[in-house]
Chains A and B, each alone.
Chain A
C-alpha cells in the first residue's frame, strides 16, 4: 500500500515555475516519497494530513558548498549532524567538499560518504578532490570518482594554482562532464594573512589579503577555459567575494563561456568591520571584505550575475576558534542561518520576490551542478520546505543541530522561520503537529 501525505492549504511557490501556482491556498499530495498531485481541494484516502495554512510551501533548499568534516574530523561535525543542521535550515540536499582527513580523492571515500551508515537525513552529494590529496600536482581519477557518485571536483580550501595543472583539471573534468569548482586564492599573495587587505588590516596590525589574490585567479581560470574551447567544460567559482572577480565572471559569461559562481550569506551581509575586537567568528577565507565589495555581491544577486547562494558551512570546535586571531581556523557555520539572512537582505531590504530568493537557494544551485531538486514538478522527489517568510525568530547558536557553534549570528533576529522540512516525503525537521490521518473522506 502506498504511503500518502497531504500538505493542505499552503501557499505554493515553485521557483522553477514561478507562475504555476496562485497565492491562494493549494494542496500538495505526496505518494511514496514523490510529488503526486498539486491543486485546490485535493482529497486522498489514508493520507497523513499536514496543515500548511498560512505557510509557504517551496522546494527544499540546496546547498552546494558545505564541509561535513567526515571522514577524519568528527569532533567538528559528522555527516549525520551536518545533515541534521541542514534539515533545520530548510535544506534537503547538500554537496560536501572533499577537504576531509584523508581528502576525498578516491571512489572508496566517495562511496563511504554516501553510505546509509552515515545516517544522513538529507541528500548528500560528494564533491571529490581535483588533485590527489589536493596537493595541486597529479589529477585524481575523475571517471572512477564520477562512477562512485561525485558530482564535481574541487581542491577547496586551497586553489588549483599551477597553470598546467588547472588546464589539465579543466580538460579531464570536461571529458567526464564534471564541473570544476575553484577556491580562487593566489596563495603566493596571502601568506600569513588573516583578513582583507586595507586600512582596517593596517589599523588592527594584521596582514591582509588583497582583492587581486581572488580576482587574479578568476581571470586566469577564465583565460584557461577560453583557451580550452570545450563546450563540456564548466568552471564554477566558489565563495566569490570581490567586485573585481565578479566583473571578470560577468564579462566571461557575456562571451558565452560556461562560468558560474556562488556567494555565501556572510559575504553579502557582513563587512570586515565585523571583526570588531579580533572576533574570530568573523575570520574566514575568503575574508569579509570592505563595504563596496559586500555591496557588489548584493548587486550581483539582484542582477542575476551570481548564480546562487551557498553557505560554505565550516564547523570548528570552540577551543579552535578561541585562539589568537591569526591562529584560529577559517570559517563559520551557515546551514541554519542562510535562509534567514537571505530573506532579510534580499526579500526584506531589497524587495526581491520570494520565488527569486528561493531560486537562489534551491533551483539555481541545483542547476549549476546538475542536481535534482529545486522544483515542485509532479514526479519530483518530495523535498519540501514549509516556512513563514515573515515570521522572525532569534537564531540561537546553542540550539543549533550542528556539533559546532562558530557563528557571528548568534542572537540575530531572522525572518523565515522553518516549520517543516521533508526529504523524499519524510519529515526530517519539524515542529508542525500532524492533524491526523484522513480516511477516505471527501472534503
Chain B
C-alpha cells in the first residue's frame, strides 16, 4: 500500500487555512501532477514515496544528461540562495546544481547583507522575490525558519538546513548513496516501503543537535530501514527514539556496529563536549570510528559522514579515506539530488514513466 507522507501535527486545527503546498495524500495524484507544480522541500515528511522515486529518477537522468542540454532547462530563471550559516558542501552543490541547469543565481549571506542591520527574514525574502527569485534555498540557524519564509513569500523554498530540525536534501543524498552502494541492482526502480528492508543504519555522534540525524531518521525507516542512534545520554536523549518507528537507541558503539550495514558518523564539536562536561578522551575511546573497530565489528559496512569531518575526533583519517568510505560519493550524489530538487521546486521535473 502506498505510504503517505507523515504530516505534521495538525489534528487540533483542522479549520485553519492550508497555506502550504503539500504532497498529496495518495501517491496517484502526485504522479499525475509531479512535473507541473512548483514544490518546496522543507522536510522529508513532505514527500510521498512516489515523490522520492521521481526525485531519484530525475537525479540519475540529469546526471547523465549532456551538460549543454541541461544548461538550457532553467536558462533565464532566477534562484536565490539565502545562507544565514556558513557552508561548503551544501551551498556549493546547490549553487553548482542551479548553474548547471542554466539558472541565474545569487547568494545572500548574513554577514554581507542588511541582515547585519537587523532586517527580518520576511523582508529579506520579499526583497528576493521582488528581484525575481522564483525559489529560495535557505539555510538558517532557527528550526522552522523555512516554513516562515515559504508562508510570507509564497515562493517554493528548499530547506538547506534549519537549526536542529531538518536537512532533507542531505537525507536524500544519503539515501542515494546507500542505494547505489548496497542495492545497485535496484538502481532506477521506484522505491517502496521494502526497498531498504534488512538494512540497519547506525548514526553516531551529537544527535541531539543534528538535523542530519533527524532527517535520516524521518526518511530511512519509511523505506524499511532500521535506524540505531548511538551516543552518550547528554548527546542523545531517550526521547529521540520516539521520532519514528524503526528507531532504537544503543549506548554501546561496538555492539551497535555489529548490527549495521551503514555506519554514519556525525561531527562532534569539542566546545560542545566541554560545555556538557563530557571528557573528550573518553568520548573518543567509546565512540570514535577507527580502523580497528571497523575491522573487528563492521568489516563490510558502508561508512558515511555528512561533513565537515573533524579527522581524529569522531572518525580517523584511515577510515575516512579507506575503501569502505562513501564520504566523497555522498558529495557527488548531493549535486545530482540538488539538481533534481531545484527542477522540482520550479515545477520542471522531467516526466516520470508510470512504474
Contact = CB atoms under 8 A, between A and B. Distances in A.
Given A205-B143, A277-B20, A324 B11 contact: no
B165 interface: yes
B9 interface: yes
Interface in B117-147: 120-122, 140, 142-145, 147
Interface in A383-431: 408, 410-413
Contacts of A408: 13
Interface string A199-214: 1111111100000000
Interface in A303-345: 319, 322-327
Contacts of A276: 8-10, 13, 16
A37 interface: no
Contact of B13 (A198, A203, A274): A274
A75 interface: no
A285 B285 CA distance: 41
Contacts of A411: 15-16
Nearest to B9: A273
Contact of B242 (A202, A273, A322): A202
Contacts of A279: 13
B162 interface: yes
A227 to B, nearest CB: 33
Interface string B1-44: 00000001111110110001000000000000000000000100
Contacts of A204: 143-144, 165
A278 B148 contact: yes
B74 interface: no
A277 B8 contact: yes
B163 interface: yes
Interface string B234-271: 00010110110000000000000000000000000000
Given A278-B148, A324-B148, A199 B8 contact: no
B166 interface: yes
A104 interface: no
Nearest to A200: B9
Interface in A164-218: 197-206
Most A CB contacts (10 A, CB to CB) among B8, B142, B144 go to: B144
A327 B11 CA distance: 25
A270 B12 contact: yes
Contacts of B144: 204, 206, 277-278, 324-326
A326 B142 contact: yes
B9 A206 contact: no
Interface-centre pick from A197, A279, A410 (highest chain B CB count, 10 A): A279
Contacts of B57: none
Contact of A205 (B122, B163, B237): B163
A205 B166 contact: yes
A199 B241 CA distance: 8
A203 B122 contact: no
Contacts of B147: 277-278
Most A-side CB within 10 Å, residue of B11, B120, B140, B148: B148
Contacts of A198: 239, 242
A134 interface: no
A279 B240 CA distance: 22
A363 interface: no
Nearest to B217: A203
A197 B238 CA distance: 12
Nearest to A322: B122
Interface string B157-175: 0000011111000000000
Interface residues of A, number: 31
Contacts of A205: 143, 162-166, 211, 214
A271 interface: yes
B239 A199 contact: yes
Nearest to B43: A277
A32 B254 CA distance: 83
Contact of A324 (B20, B42, B140, B164): B140
B152 interface: yes
Contacts of A273: 9, 11-12
Nearest to B166: A205
A412 B140 contact: no
A437 interface: no
A325 B143 contact: yes
A413 B122 CA distance: 31
A325 B142 contact: yes
A344 to B, nearest CB: 13
Interface string A258-284: 000000000000110111111100000
Interface in A217-239: none
Contacts of B9: 200, 273-277
B143 A326 contact: yes
B239 A323 contact: no
Contacts of B142: 324-327
A326 B120 CA distance: 14
A324 B243 contact: no
A272 to B, nearest CB: 8
A346 B196 CA distance: 48
Contacts of B15: 411-413
A202 B243 contact: yes
Contacts of B148: 278, 322-325
Nearest to A273: B9
A323 B143 contact: no
Interface centre among B164, B211, B240 (most CB of A within 10 A): B164
A20 B243 CA distance: 55
A308 to B, nearest CB: 24
A206 B15 CA distance: 25
Given A205-B162, A205-B166, A322 B239 contact: no
Contacts of A278: 143-144, 147-148
A236 B214 CA distance: 41
Contacts of B214: 202-203, 205
Interface centre among A206, A275, A325, A410 (most CB of B within 10 A): A325
A210 to B, nearest CB: 11
Nearest to B144: A278
Contacts of B242: 198-199, 202-203
Given A270-B12, A278-B143, 10 more contacts: A199-B239, A204-B143, A205-B165, A205-B166, A273-B11, A273-B12, A277-B8, A278-B144, A278-B147, A323-B120
Interface of B: 8-13, 15-16, 20, 42, 120-122, 140, 142-145, 147-148, 152, 162-166, 211, 214, 237, 239-240, 242-243
21 contacts: A199-B243, A204-B165, A205-B164, A205-B165, A205-B214, A206-B143, A206-B164, A273-B11, A276-B9, A277-B8, A278-B143, A278-B147, A322-B120, A322-B152, A323-B122, A323-B148, A324-B142, A325-B142, A325-B144, A325-B148, A410-B16
